[in-house]
Amino acid sequence: MSSARPEGGPRQRLFFALWPEAAVRTRLDQAGAALLGKRVKRVPAENLHLTLAFAGAVTATVRQCLQAAAADIRCPAFELSIGHIGHWSRPRIYWAGPVHTPPPLWSLAGMLQTALGDCGLQTETRPYQPHITLARKIQRAPDIQHIAPIDWSIRHFSLVESVTGPRAASYQLLGSWELEG
Ligand code: ATP
Ligand code: MG
Protein backbone atom coordinates (compact mmCIF):
# COMPACT_ATOMS: atom_id res chain seq x y z
CA MET A 1 0.00 0.00 0.00
CA SER A 2 1.19 3.52 -0.72
CA SER A 3 0.56 5.03 2.71
CA ALA A 4 2.89 4.21 5.59
CA ARG A 5 0.14 4.93 8.08
CA PRO A 6 -2.73 2.52 8.59
CA GLU A 7 -5.80 3.73 6.73
CA GLY A 8 -8.67 5.01 8.85
CA GLY A 9 -12.32 4.89 7.95
CA PRO A 10 -14.89 2.16 8.10
CA ARG A 11 -13.88 -1.46 7.85
CA GLN A 12 -15.73 -4.45 6.52
CA ARG A 13 -15.39 -7.99 7.87
CA LEU A 14 -14.69 -10.08 4.77
CA PHE A 15 -14.07 -13.68 3.78
CA PHE A 16 -13.95 -15.73 0.60
CA ALA A 17 -16.39 -18.62 0.45
CA LEU A 18 -18.24 -21.13 -1.64
CA TRP A 19 -21.90 -20.16 -1.48
CA PRO A 20 -24.42 -22.94 -2.18
CA GLU A 21 -27.22 -22.40 -4.64
CA ALA A 22 -30.78 -22.96 -3.40
CA ALA A 23 -31.03 -26.71 -4.07
CA VAL A 24 -27.75 -27.52 -2.30
CA ARG A 25 -28.56 -25.15 0.56
CA THR A 26 -31.91 -26.88 1.08
CA ARG A 27 -30.28 -30.31 1.16
CA LEU A 28 -27.65 -29.15 3.65
CA ASP A 29 -30.33 -27.61 5.82
CA GLN A 30 -32.42 -30.79 5.70
CA ALA A 31 -29.39 -32.90 6.58
CA GLY A 32 -28.72 -30.64 9.58
CA ALA A 33 -32.34 -30.90 10.70
CA ALA A 34 -32.31 -34.69 10.42
CA LEU A 35 -29.04 -34.99 12.33
CA LEU A 36 -29.63 -32.44 15.05
CA GLY A 37 -33.39 -32.38 15.57
CA LYS A 38 -35.68 -29.45 16.21
CA ARG A 39 -34.44 -28.39 19.62
CA VAL A 40 -30.97 -27.41 18.48
CA LYS A 41 -30.46 -23.91 17.10
CA ARG A 42 -28.78 -24.46 13.75
CA VAL A 43 -27.09 -22.05 11.37
CA PRO A 44 -29.94 -20.52 9.33
CA ALA A 45 -30.21 -22.07 5.86
CA GLU A 46 -29.42 -18.77 4.15
CA ASN A 47 -26.13 -18.56 6.09
CA LEU A 48 -24.75 -21.99 5.16
CA HIS A 49 -21.39 -21.71 3.36
CA LEU A 50 -17.92 -23.13 3.05
CA THR A 51 -15.18 -20.65 3.93
CA LEU A 52 -12.15 -20.58 1.64
CA ALA A 53 -10.10 -17.84 3.30
CA PHE A 54 -10.86 -15.41 6.10
CA ALA A 55 -9.69 -11.80 5.69
CA GLY A 56 -11.16 -10.16 8.80
CA ALA A 57 -11.88 -6.43 9.20
CA VAL A 58 -10.37 -4.60 6.25
CA THR A 59 -10.29 -1.11 4.76
CA ALA A 60 -11.76 -0.19 1.37
CA THR A 61 -8.25 -0.22 -0.11
CA VAL A 62 -7.66 -3.78 1.04
CA ARG A 63 -11.11 -4.84 -0.18
CA GLN A 64 -10.27 -3.51 -3.64
CA CYS A 65 -6.93 -5.31 -3.53
CA LEU A 66 -8.71 -8.58 -2.66
CA GLN A 67 -11.23 -8.09 -5.46
CA ALA A 68 -8.46 -7.47 -7.99
CA ALA A 69 -6.56 -10.55 -6.78
CA ALA A 70 -9.71 -12.67 -6.99
CA ALA A 71 -10.27 -11.57 -10.58
CA ASP A 72 -6.76 -12.84 -11.47
CA ILE A 73 -7.31 -16.33 -10.07
CA ARG A 74 -7.39 -19.20 -12.57
CA CYS A 75 -8.78 -22.43 -11.16
CA PRO A 76 -10.78 -25.23 -12.76
CA ALA A 77 -14.40 -25.83 -11.77
CA PHE A 78 -14.82 -28.94 -9.63
CA GLU A 79 -17.31 -31.18 -7.88
CA LEU A 80 -17.78 -31.59 -4.14
CA SER A 81 -19.49 -34.46 -2.44
CA ILE A 82 -20.58 -33.39 1.03
CA GLY A 83 -20.89 -36.62 2.94
CA HIS A 84 -18.75 -36.27 6.04
CA ILE A 85 -20.02 -35.10 9.42
CA GLY A 86 -17.56 -33.75 11.94
CA HIS A 87 -17.43 -32.08 15.34
CA TRP A 88 -14.79 -29.90 16.94
CA SER A 89 -15.05 -30.01 20.69
CA ARG A 90 -13.24 -26.80 21.56
CA PRO A 91 -15.22 -24.38 19.38
CA ARG A 92 -18.16 -26.81 19.83
CA ILE A 93 -18.91 -26.74 16.12
CA TYR A 94 -20.89 -29.38 14.29
CA TRP A 95 -20.10 -29.41 10.60
CA ALA A 96 -20.49 -31.14 7.25
CA GLY A 97 -17.65 -31.46 4.80
CA PRO A 98 -16.44 -33.16 1.66
CA VAL A 99 -15.57 -36.84 1.89
CA HIS A 100 -12.49 -36.14 -0.23
CA THR A 101 -11.03 -32.71 -0.84
CA PRO A 102 -10.41 -32.40 -4.59
CA PRO A 103 -7.08 -30.79 -5.62
CA PRO A 104 -8.74 -27.64 -7.07
CA LEU A 105 -10.27 -26.88 -3.67
CA TRP A 106 -6.85 -27.01 -2.01
CA SER A 107 -5.36 -24.83 -4.72
CA LEU A 108 -8.23 -22.30 -4.68
CA ALA A 109 -7.96 -21.94 -0.89
CA GLY A 110 -4.17 -21.66 -1.25
CA MET A 111 -4.36 -18.99 -3.96
CA LEU A 112 -6.75 -16.97 -1.81
CA GLN A 113 -4.36 -17.19 1.17
CA THR A 114 -1.65 -15.88 -1.12
CA ALA A 115 -4.01 -13.05 -2.13
CA LEU A 116 -4.55 -12.17 1.54
CA GLY A 117 -0.80 -11.98 2.07
CA ASP A 118 -0.26 -9.95 -1.10
CA CYS A 119 -2.87 -7.47 0.15
CA GLY A 120 -0.99 -7.05 3.42
CA LEU A 121 -3.16 -9.31 5.59
CA GLN A 122 -2.11 -12.07 7.95
CA THR A 123 -2.36 -15.52 6.46
CA GLU A 124 -3.58 -18.70 8.12
CA THR A 125 -0.92 -20.98 9.51
CA ARG A 126 -3.25 -23.86 10.40
CA PRO A 127 -3.95 -26.43 7.71
CA TYR A 128 -7.06 -25.77 5.65
CA GLN A 129 -10.07 -27.79 6.81
CA PRO A 130 -13.01 -27.37 4.45
CA HIS A 131 -16.25 -27.40 6.42
CA ILE A 132 -19.77 -26.06 6.48
CA THR A 133 -20.83 -25.16 10.01
CA LEU A 134 -24.29 -26.61 10.63
CA ALA A 135 -24.62 -25.66 14.31
CA ARG A 136 -22.60 -24.08 17.08
CA LYS A 137 -22.47 -24.73 20.83
CA ILE A 138 -22.89 -28.45 20.31
CA GLN A 139 -21.23 -30.34 23.13
CA ARG A 140 -21.66 -33.87 21.95
CA ALA A 141 -19.91 -35.50 19.01
CA PRO A 142 -22.27 -36.85 16.35
CA ASP A 143 -23.22 -40.50 16.40
CA ILE A 144 -22.54 -40.81 12.71
CA GLN A 145 -19.71 -39.65 10.52
CA HIS A 146 -21.35 -40.09 7.13
CA ILE A 147 -24.53 -38.99 5.40
CA ALA A 148 -25.88 -39.69 1.92
CA PRO A 149 -23.56 -37.45 -0.13
CA ILE A 150 -24.85 -34.06 -1.23
CA ASP A 151 -23.39 -33.28 -4.66
CA TRP A 152 -22.33 -29.68 -5.13
CA SER A 153 -20.91 -28.39 -8.42
CA ILE A 154 -18.47 -25.58 -7.76
CA ARG A 155 -18.50 -23.09 -10.61
CA HIS A 156 -17.56 -19.87 -8.83
CA PHE A 157 -16.32 -18.46 -5.54
CA SER A 158 -17.46 -15.35 -3.71
CA LEU A 159 -16.28 -12.50 -1.53
CA VAL A 160 -18.65 -12.10 1.40
CA GLU A 161 -19.17 -9.42 4.03
CA SER A 162 -20.14 -10.59 7.49
CA VAL A 163 -22.26 -8.22 9.57
CA THR A 164 -22.58 -9.26 13.18
CA GLY A 165 -26.20 -9.31 14.26
CA PRO A 166 -27.94 -9.86 17.60
CA ARG A 167 -28.65 -13.52 16.80
CA ALA A 168 -26.73 -14.72 13.78
CA ALA A 169 -24.30 -12.96 11.52
CA SER A 170 -25.83 -11.78 8.27
CA TYR A 171 -23.86 -12.15 5.08
CA GLN A 172 -23.73 -10.03 1.96
CA LEU A 173 -22.22 -11.32 -1.26
CA LEU A 174 -19.95 -8.56 -2.61
CA GLY A 175 -18.75 -10.33 -5.72
CA SER A 176 -18.35 -13.70 -7.40
CA TRP A 177 -15.73 -14.99 -9.83
CA GLU A 178 -16.15 -17.87 -12.26
CA LEU A 179 -13.95 -20.94 -12.25
CA GLU A 180 -12.72 -22.34 -15.55
CA GLY A 181 -14.20 -25.14 -17.55
P1 ATP B 1 -20.51 -15.14 14.36
O2 ATP B 1 -19.02 -15.00 14.57
O3 ATP B 1 -21.21 -13.83 14.29
O4 ATP B 1 -21.14 -16.08 15.31
P5 ATP B 1 -19.69 -16.36 11.89
O6 ATP B 1 -18.57 -17.03 12.62
O7 ATP B 1 -20.41 -17.15 10.87
O8 ATP B 1 -20.75 -15.80 12.92
P9 ATP B 1 -17.70 -14.54 11.09
O10 ATP B 1 -17.02 -14.65 12.43
O11 ATP B 1 -17.75 -13.20 10.44
O12 ATP B 1 -19.17 -15.07 11.17
O13 ATP B 1 -16.96 -15.56 10.13
C14 ATP B 1 -17.25 -15.67 8.76
C15 ATP B 1 -16.69 -16.99 8.28
O16 ATP B 1 -15.27 -17.00 8.45
C17 ATP B 1 -17.21 -18.20 9.06
O18 ATP B 1 -17.26 -19.31 8.17
C19 ATP B 1 -16.14 -18.44 10.10
O20 ATP B 1 -16.08 -19.79 10.48
C21 ATP B 1 -14.89 -18.03 9.35
N22 ATP B 1 -13.91 -17.47 10.28
C23 ATP B 1 -14.12 -16.55 11.24
N24 ATP B 1 -12.98 -16.23 11.88
C25 ATP B 1 -12.01 -16.97 11.31
C26 ATP B 1 -10.60 -17.09 11.50
N27 ATP B 1 -9.95 -16.39 12.42
N28 ATP B 1 -9.94 -17.97 10.72
C29 ATP B 1 -10.56 -18.67 9.78
N30 ATP B 1 -11.89 -18.60 9.52
C31 ATP B 1 -12.60 -17.76 10.27
MG1 MG C 1 -17.22 -16.12 14.00
Give the domains, in start order, of the chain with CATH numbers. Answer: 12-178 (3.90.1140.10)
Q: Which of 3-7, 39-43, 92-96 has the highest mean pLDDT?
A: 92-96
In the reported structure, the alpha carbon of residue 55 is separated from the centroid of ligand 1 by a whole-number distance in angstroms of 10
In the reported structure, the alpha carbon of residue 106 is separated from the centroid of ligand 1 by a whole-number distance in angstroms of 19
DSSP the chain: ---SSPP-S--EEEEEEE---HHHHHHHHHHHHHHH-SSS-BPPGGG--EEEEEEEEE-HHHHHHHHHHHHT---B-EEEEEEEEEEETTTTEEEEEESS--HHHHHHHHHHHHHHHHTT-----SPP---EEEESS--SPPS-SEEEEEEEEE-EEEEEEEE--SSS-EEEEEEEEEPB-
**CA-13 nearest atom, ligand 1:** 11
Per-residue pLDDT tens for 125-149? 999 999 999 999 999 888 899 999 9
pTM of the model: 0.95
What pLDDT score does 2 carry?
A: 52
For the CA of 109, the nearest ligand: 1
Q: Is the CB of 54 under 6 A from ligand 1?
A: yes
In the reported structure, the alpha carbon of residue 3 is separated from the centroid of ligand 2 by a whole-number distance in angstroms of 30
